[in-house]
Structure 1
Amino acid sequence: MKLRAYTVDKMSFMLNKQFRAEPGQKVQIKPIFNREITKVNAQRFVNTVSVSLTNIEQDTPFYLDVQIYGVFDVEDWEDPQTNKFVIKNATDVLYPYLRTIVTTLTANGHVPPYVLPMANVDAIFH
């Protein structure tokens, strides 16, 4: 498997001006992850991953929506074992980019930087 390119498809950040944290209050942020695989041809596929923090009801200091995609080349895409393996690994490859973008957006938004958790990527992108 080879990453040919990755692209930031969408970045959105909005400060929640109504948010007021009490001293010592821990803010609960619950990101929503999504992954979509699109086959281009027998040797190429696109993996789109996204994270959203857009629930207006959630009392968070900001709302956020980020989507990136990677174009990958792989041999033997049609083999079910290969297919499962490359989808997991392609997501593993893109997740650090997603984490970096989220951290940069929040840091530049004048809120404490939010870093997506280190996680079992396969579990969060189900």
Structure 2
Amino acid sequence: MAVLEFKSYTVNELSYRKNDLYKETNQNISINPKIEIKNTPKQDKIIVTVDVHIGSLAEKKNPFIVTASVSGEFVYHEKEDHNQVGIDTLIKKNAVAILYPYVRSLVSGITNASNQFPALILPTINVAQLLDEQSNRQEAAD
């Protein structure tokens, strides 16, 4: 049995909205996704949520805004953690790495379905680096 067991995922939110202010140019569209990660322990399971926000309705250079939110249910089997990696590390790295492809697929599908722009394929990410950057920003804000 795995140390971290992935039970299932659910889509919390998926939305696409066209930006009527968008002005088409010959320049490449610059879209910087904002990714948020939350985890919530609930009795013997852990719920990890990955939220992605892309674009803006306030800027002329963004053709759309997309929001996707996916939560996954995980179970930590402490007795199987022979290397003593720990629940925090497993949740922060492995759970997010498991859920992110679902978010990527949702974003690609909904942007492709718009039939106005090519599908937006989110880049793969280094989960550990992303979490470290978020942690550093949070500490600076506190």
Q: Shorter-normalised TM-score: what interval? A: 0.7 to 0.9
Mapped pair 1:15 → 2:18: yes
Between the two proteins, the alignment pairs up a number of residues equal to 123
Where does residue 72 of structure 1 map in the other structure?
Answer: 74
Root-mean-square deviation (CA, aligned residues, Å) is 1.9
Where does residue 34 of structure 2 map in the other structure?
Answer: 32
Which ranges of structure 1 fall in alignment gaps of 5 or more residues?
Answer: none
TM-score by length of 1: 0.88
Where does residue 56 of structure 1 map in the other structure?
Answer: 57
Residue 17 of structure 1, CA deviation: 2.1
Cα distance in structure 2, aligned partners of 1:81 and 1:55: 39
Aligned with residue 92 of structure 1, among 64, 82, 97 = 97
Contact 2:14-2:68 within 8 A present in 1 as well = yes
Contact 1:95-1:121 within 8 A present in 2 as well = no
CA deviation vs aligned residue, 1:19-62 (integer Å, no higher than 9, x gap): 12213x11110111000000012x31000001002533342111
Q: Kindly, what percent of the aligned residue pairs are identical?
A: 27
TM-score by length of 2: 0.79
CA deviation vs aligned residue, 1:81-116 (integer Å, no higher than 9, x gap): 412331110000001000000000100012211011
SS in 1 for 2:125: coil
Cα distance in structure 2, aligned partners of 1:57 and 1:124: 26
